[in-house]
Amino acid sequence: MSLSENDPRNPTELSPPRRAGVASTGPTPSRRVFLLSATAAAAAVAAGLVPRLTRPALAGDTPRASAPEHFEAAYSDAEWRKRLTPGQYEILRQEGTERPYSSPLNDEHRAGTFSCAGCALPLFSSRTKFDSHTGWPSFWTPLEHAVGTRTDTTFGMVRTEVHCRRCGGHLGHVFDDGPKPTGLRYCMNGLAMTFSPQAA
């Protein structure tokens, strides 16, 4: 039994059904060719974006597969839920990410200190904050002994996750497309932090 050119069971599917009065312009690509082309195009776009979304692991990064870390400020999950708002809990304890441009701290330009919303440890100085145009508060360096990092391989990428050194709360990620002098961009979730303005 032969299959007609336009039979849905025909794997070549080279041309659409002809309509009366419409001239044929030649064979059209099959659905498979279209999907392969779209996939290749998406891969090409992704290849151009990946360098800005990922960065090599920093020295001292802790792999996720290693033994659990111990932190000075440690509470049960139930206690963390009591201490934090639902949004803070989602970010700090579940490693969530807030929507870009949703945090008032993104537009905070006063002199002061950004601290961990989980344990109040000072994390960043306003002197190192810059507008990264990404929608998240960004800094070119943290305060000394304020944060820890570990390698994050979720979503098929290798990134450097940043967390509070004292309580382990997830803050965001660090990338290597920041300004001088470090060339780093600590891209933080506003919900993971609080801000204390500097006294006049």
Pairing of strands 193-197, 170-175: unpaired
- Residue 164 annotated in active site: no
- The one catalytic residue in 119, 164, 167, 187 is 187
CA distance 42 to 25: 28
Q: Which residues are catalytic?
A: 187
